[in-house]
């Protein structure tokens, strides 16, 4: 594993003996991509442009006038200066124009992998990775970008993310910030993705890449069941064990975009990152923005090779250390036997039978806090209904433990019912556009997790339940997409930050809670896949893959998810 610079400091070669990634500085100005794929000994100026006239396009300003910006294989492309393909970074600078011209400034090899507290990121152990930091700067707009490339020992994986800083004297606005942009040779490829809907997740979609832009995305507020924040480009004819595969994944749980563009000459640009639709982030002087981490995966051993790389990476560099390679308990969930109509007699009978069958964990699902036996009320109260369960959750936990099982509990912390005291006391805590009646989803509103007070409330509520050590497992549900995306905590000009701020606040709650209770097993539910992604797995080592338990359907669902996730994460 090594990152090496050429003698004149113009070329960098990132390799671990299995894969290689090469970049070059063109005319001491532009960061250009040269190669990504199977490991090479050295780069000898292959994949460089042969200049030719491209009709009426903008000319490259130095030397050969038959080189055009629309030709160049930029590492982190920007719009407005002659590259008309997909931009990775769009910033409206002091003039208001979305034009920046990033120039290479410096690079250095780091002996550690940078971590960002606000976002989930992959981790490493001593001597398991190396990181290249590249700095690019546009002194006119005041935009400084730190690009990070981390390569891992013995895995065909490179991760990337960016740190975007306003070093100018004026406020700037980020309109688009992709986590990964990659140029691939002009060849034929097939596009593979996982699409679906609730109860029919992770369907494999595969078709020939063609001229134009092929894009999948989520505007759901979460990564959503509609598309995984993943896709791959395949050599035509690739099967399970043979063929070249380039796989891309985003470690993020909110709105995302993933696109591949084939230009008129067959050149390929691929990107993945935060969905730029309805996104705009204001950076005042001295402020920074961090992009989610993206994963590049290369296999020349077909889809199995790609899957093995993802599985190895997730098991060893994403899953929380306390649950890495740990066998998960066999559990029984109360939902389909009781639904909302829970009582101690039913719980005791189920748990006793479960113990006899060798089950290890009993999970009390929805209903324990409800006034009635439906979903129309009480969401967000999180106070046990002792008319249903005398003695409360502590008594239920003691009962389950006395039978010889571990005890788990269901929550849906992000939602509130209209009759919930939290909503009545703090109506400004939900997502709601002024003047509009807020829409309900499953009779609920969504809390605005971008607000610090809401985060503190949720952290405190969960701590109250977990602090006595009687809960071994938490099932975290989330049953509705975003609507009425407006935050009362933000001014007019920053409302396009609301969805991403929600996810950042959500991550803070997860990080603080799971860090305080590392031995509690957290499972993401999300109505069967509404938020099943690598970002969630950084906090929750497993996820309920689907509410569809039909055997034939489930085989297809599990097969789709297995392309990316190890079986220990994709709960059956």
Residue-wise DSSP of 67-106? -BTTT--BSS--SSSS--S--SEEEE-TTS------EEEE
Q: What predicted TM-score, i.e. pTM, was given to this entire model?
A: 0.97
Topology match between the domains 77-320 and 322-517: no
- Window from 44-53, 151-160, 483-492, 511-520 with minimum mean pLDDT: 44-53
Question: Which pLDDT score is estimated for 59?
Answer: 79
Q: Which of 419, 484, 547, 553 is catalytic?
A: 547
Q: Provide the pairing of β-strand 11-15 with 281-283.
A: unpaired
Q: How far apart are CA 476 and CA 536, in angstroms?
A: 11
- Confirm if 157 and 313 have CB atoms less than 8 A apart: yes
- Confirm if 200 and 548 have CB atoms less than 8 A apart: yes
Q: What are the contacts of 188-191 at 24+ separation with CB within 8 A?
A: 188/235, 188/236, 189/233, 189/234, 189/235, 189/236, 189/260, 189/268, 190/233, 190/234, 190/235, 190/236, 190/238, 191/231, 191/232, 191/233, 191/234, 191/260
Give per-residue pLDDT as tens, 531-541: 999 999 999 99
CA 197, 199, 204, 206 dihedral sign is: negative
Per-residue pLDDT, averaged over 337-355, amounts to: 97
Please compute Rg for the chain using Cα positions: 25
Tokens linked to 372: 């009635």
State the residue for tokens 């051993």.
Answer: 301
**Taking phi first (over 0 means left), then psi (-120 to 50 degrees means alpha), and beta for anything else, what does residue 404 get?**
left
CATH number given to 77-320: 2.70.98.60
Residue 344's pLDDT band (cuts 50, 70, 90): very high
Instruction: Please report how many Cα atoms fall inside a 13 Å half-sphere around the Cα of residue 506, on the Cβ side.
Output: 29
Question: Which pLDDT score is estimated for 561?
Answer: 96
Question: Which pLDDT score is estimated for 162?
Answer: 98
Give per-residue pLDDT as tens, 23-52: 999 989 999 999 999 999 999 887 777 767
Give per-residue pLDDT as tens, 179-204: 999 999 999 999 999 999 999 999 99
- CA-to-CA separations, 212 to 189, 218, 267, 431, in angstroms, rounded: 13, 20, 11, 36
Three-class DSSP category at 272: strand
- Confirm if 16 and 1 have CB atoms less than 8 A apart: yes
Give per-residue pLDDT as tens, 437-450: 999 999 999 999 99
Residues near 211 by beta carbon (within 8 Å), at least 6 away in sequence? 262, 263, 264
Q: How far apart are CA 505 and CA 220, in angstroms?
A: 17
Residues near 477 by beta carbon (within 8 Å), at least 6 away in sequence? 366, 410, 411, 412, 525, 526, 527
Residue 493's Cβ-count burial label (10 Å; 0-12, 13-18, 19+) is exposed
Per-residue pLDDT, averaged over 553-562, amounts to: 95
Question: Residue 452's beta-bridge partner residues?
Answer: none
Question: Which pLDDT score is estimated for 65?
Answer: 67
529: pLDDT strictly greater than 90: no
User: Of residues 401 and 71, which shows the higher confidence score?
Assistant: 401
Question: Which pLDDT score is estimated for 364?
Answer: 98
Residue 1's pLDDT band (cuts 50, 70, 90): low
Give per-residue pLDDT as tens, 419-431: 999 999 999 999 9
Based on the residue annotation, tell me whether 477 is a catalytic residue of this protein.
yes
Per-residue pLDDT, averaged over 83-96, amounts to: 96
Give per-residue pLDDT as tens, 162-179: 999 999 999 999 999 999
225: pLDDT strictly greater than 90: yes
Q: How far apart are CA 181 and CA 89, in angstroms?
A: 10
Give per-residue pLDDT as tens, 243-294: 999 999 999 999 999 999 999 989 999 999 999 999 999 999 999 999 999 9
Tokens linked to 283: 């950076």
Cα distance from N-terminal residue to C-terminal residue, the chain = 37
- Confirm if 501 and 282 have CB atoms less than 8 A apart: no
Q: How far apart are CA 529 and CA 52, in angstroms?
A: 49
Sequence-ordered strand ranges (E) for 394-536: 406-411, 415-416, 445-446, 473-476, 521-524
Q: Which of 138, 472, 477, 533 is catalytic?
A: 477
Residue 528's pLDDT band (cuts 50, 70, 90): confident
Residue 227's pLDDT band (cuts 50, 70, 90): very high
Residues near 161 by beta carbon (within 8 Å), at least 6 away in sequence? 116, 121, 148, 179, 290, 291, 292, 293, 294
Based on the residue annotation, tell me whether 547 is a catalytic residue of this protein.
yes
CATH number given to 322-517: 3.20.20.70
Q: Where are the domains of the chain?
A: 77-320, 322-517
Question: Which pLDDT score is estimated for 64?
Answer: 64
Residue-wise DSSP of 174-230? EEEEEEEEEEE-S---EEEEEEEETTEEEEEEEEE--SEEEEEE--SSSS-SSB-SE
């Amino acid at each position: 594993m090594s990152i090496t610079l050429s003698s004149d400091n113009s070329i960098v070669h990132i390799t671990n003996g299995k894969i290689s990634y090469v970049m070059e500085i063109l005319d001491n100005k532009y960061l250009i991509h040269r190669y990504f794929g199977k490991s090479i000994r050295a780069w000898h100026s292959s994949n460089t442009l042969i200049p030719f006239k491209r009709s009426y396009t903008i000319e490259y300003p130095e030397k050969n006038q038959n080189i055009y910006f629309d030709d160049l294989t930029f590492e982190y492309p920007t719009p407005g200066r002659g590259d008309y393909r997909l931009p990775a970074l769009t910033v409206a600078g002091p003039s208001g124009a979305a034009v920046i011209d990033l120039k290479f400034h410096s690079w250095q090899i780091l002996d550690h992998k940078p971590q960002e507290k606000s976002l989930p990121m992959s981790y490493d152990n001593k001597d398991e990775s190396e990181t290249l930091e590249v700095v690019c700067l546009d002194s006119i707009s005041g935009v400084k970008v730190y690009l990070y490339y981390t390569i891992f020992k013995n895995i065909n994986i490179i991760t990337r993310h960016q740190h975007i800083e306003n070093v100018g004297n004026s406020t700037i606005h980020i309109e688009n910030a992709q986590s990964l942009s990659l140029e691939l040779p002009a060849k034929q490829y097939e596009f593979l993705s996982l699409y679906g809907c609730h109860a029919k997740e992770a369907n494999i979609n595969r078709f020939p890449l063609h001229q134009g832009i092929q894009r999948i995305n989520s505007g759901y507020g979460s990564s959503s069941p509609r598309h995984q924040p993943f896709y791959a480009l395949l050599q035509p004819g690739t099967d399970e064990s043979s063929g070249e595969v380039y796989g891309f994944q985003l470690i993020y749980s909110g709105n995302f975009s993933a696109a591949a563009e084939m230009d008129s000459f067959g050149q390929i640009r691929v990107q993945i990152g935060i969905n730029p639709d309805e996104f705009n982030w204001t950076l005042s002087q001295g402020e920074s923005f961090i992009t989610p981490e993206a994963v590049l995966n290369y296999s020349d051993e077909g889809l199995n090779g790609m899957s093995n790389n993802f599985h190895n990476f997730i098991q060893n560099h994403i899953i929380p250390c306390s649950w890495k390679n740990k066998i998960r308990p066999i559990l029984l969930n109360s939902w389909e036997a009781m639904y909302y109509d829970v009582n101690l007699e039913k719980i005791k009978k189920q748990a006793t039978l479960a113990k006899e069958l060798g089950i290890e964990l009993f999970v009390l699902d929805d209903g324990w806090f409800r006034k009635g036996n439906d979903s129309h009320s009480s969401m967000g109260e999180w106070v046990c209904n002792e008319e249903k369960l005398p003695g409360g959750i502590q008594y239920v936990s003691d009962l389950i433990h006395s039978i010889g099982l571990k005890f788990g509990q269901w929550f849906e912390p992000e939602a509130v019912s209209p009759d919930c005291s939290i909503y009545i006391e703090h109506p400004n805590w939900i997502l709601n556009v002024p003047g509009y009646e807020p829409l309900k989803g499953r009779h609920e509103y969504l809390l605005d997790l971008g607000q610090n007070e809401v985060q503190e409330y949720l952290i405190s509520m969960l701590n109250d339940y977990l602090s006595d050590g009687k809960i071994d497992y938490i099932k975290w549900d989330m049953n509705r997409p975003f609507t009425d995306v407006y935050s009362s905590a933000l001014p007019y000009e920053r409302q396009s930050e609301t969805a991403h701020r929600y996810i950042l606040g959500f991550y803070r709650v997860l990080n603080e809670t799971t860090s305080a209770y590392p031995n509690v097993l957290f499972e993401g539910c999300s109505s069967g896949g509404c938020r099943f992604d690598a970002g969630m797995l950084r906090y929750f080592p497993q996820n309920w893959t689907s509410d569809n338990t039909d055997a034939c359907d489930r085989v297809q669902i599990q097969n789709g998810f297995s392309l990316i996730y190890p079986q220990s994460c994709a709960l059956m």
